[in-house]
Structure 1
Amino acid sequence: MKLYTRGGDAGQTSIIGGRVDKDDARIEAYGTIDELNSFVGQAASLIDSGVFAELKEELLQIQHELFDCGSDLAYAKLSEDRYKVGAGLSERLEAWIDRHESDNPPLEKFILPGGTALAAVLHVCRTVCRRAERRAVTLGRQHTVNPDVLTYLNRLSDYFFAAARTANARMQVEDTEYVRSAKVFGRKS
């Protein structure tokens, strides 16, 4: 099997059920999810210690789910019975976030992305995830999208934030507070 087809040489690509320009909102959305998946793989590759064993498992699960998200966005026309992403995935992410945050130090102010190499890459995952979410929202203005993908991406960026803090905390590296930040976390609305 050859990796190249030459089918996209004129600036179009195939999606499930048709062809679109390579800069179509659908391609931008699932292409950004693919980019995110690569960064998640990079984060997982930095984990070689037993102290992060469950985090590596979570990241591997997320990689599979990102493929599911991309698949749900890759259809020209898709009915709900074909969706791979459901509400249960976001609920599971919430449980993971809560578990990570229960072990993290209290947070009152915005923090700078960074700390350990793993935390820094997880912050990159967070920001690319936010971009993927924005691309999916744009796509949703033009075409029907699985709303559970939008929820999943929103929750996933929160997960990456919590996981980055966990990566720092377990290595006893303090998060660096943004010096001009007001106290924004832990306030009652």
Structure 2
Amino acid sequence: MKIYTRTGDTGGTALFGGGRVGKDHPRVEAYGDVDELNASLGMARCIEVMPRIDEVLVPIQRDLFAIGALLATPDHDKMRDHLAKARIDEERIAELERAIDQCDQELEPLRSFIIPGGTPKAAALHVARTVCRRAERRVVHLAQEIELPALVITYLNRLSDLLFTLARVANLRAGAGEVTW
């Protein structure tokens, strides 16, 4: 199978389960941003390997594949299948929260804004956080047009908090200080 199909040469793309939309459709914007987030997490994992941080990111990347598939699927029954496959549920949200809480035990309490940066690993996690926030905004916009499971927005919101916390932990573990604003 060739990677190129030529079916998108006129600006359209196929959705899972049938149908076509323009590549600038809000659905495509949303799953495109989730895909970009997934790629940015892959890059963050490759920079300054930190096993305890990287082990948290791999399941998240799997979740994001399933969320992207859900966003690319207009069929509500298949949407639920993707959500179930991803295990995006209240327990998964609680797992993200526990990861944040575990990280917070290592960190000094926040007293001011943190300027993104520090080590390359932390900077990459900060970039991923901002991509996550954009993906969240796109999904919120899409949810105003089509019915989406609310847990997708909750997941992305919690994930951005986790990425911020992981960036702080990456700096701490590498011995880099934080620059405050």
Q: Distance between the aligned counterparts of 1:8 and 1:15, measured in 2?
A: 12
1:38-66 deviation per Cα after TM superposition (whole angstroms, max 9, x unaligned): 11000000133xxx212111111111111
Q: Secondary structure at the match of 1:142?
A: coil
Q: After the TM superposition, which parts of structure 1 deviate over 3 Å for at least 4 consecutive aligned residues?
A: none
Contact 1:7-1:13 within 8 A present in 2 as well: yes
Deviations 1:49-96 (A, max 9, x none): xxx212111111111111011111111121364223222221110000
- Alpha-carbon separation, structure 1, partners of 2:154 and 2:2: 37
Asked if 1:135 is matched to 2:138, the reply is: yes
SS of structure 2 residue aligned to 1:13: strand
RMSD of the TM alignment (CA)? 1.1
Q: Which has the higher helix share?
A: 2
What residue is the counterpart of 1:10 in the other structure? 10
| Alignment match, 1:70 | 68
Q: Distance in 1 between matches of 2:80 and 2:9?
A: 34
Letter in 2 for 1:18: G
Is contact 2:96-2:162 (8 Å) kept? yes
Q: Which residue of 1 aligns with 2:34?
A: 33
Structure 2's unaligned 5+ residue stretches are none
Paired residues of 2:48 and 2:120 also in contact (CA < 8 A): no
State how 1:1-189 maps to structure 2 within 5 Å.
Answer: 1-16=1-16, 17-48=18-49, 52-79=50-77, 81-82=80-81, 83-84=83-84, 85-178=88-181
Question: What amino acid does structure 2 have at the position aligned with 1:2?
Answer: K
How many residue pairs get aligned? The number is 175
State the 1:105 CA deviation: 1.7
Residue 105 of structure 1 contacts residue 169 of structure 1 at CA under 8 Å; is this kept in 2?
Answer: no
Aligned counterparts of 1:122 and 1:60: Cα–Cα separation in 2: 13
Deviates more, 1:152-161 or 1:16-25: 16-25
Q: Which deviations, in whole Å up to 9, do the C-alpha atoms of 1:91-131 show, x marking residues without a partner?
A: 11000000011101221100100001100000001000000
Please report how far the alpha carbon of residue 18 of structure 1 lies from its aligned counterpart in structure 2 after TM superposition: 1.2
Whole-angstrom distance in 1 between the partners of 2:12 and 2:32: 14
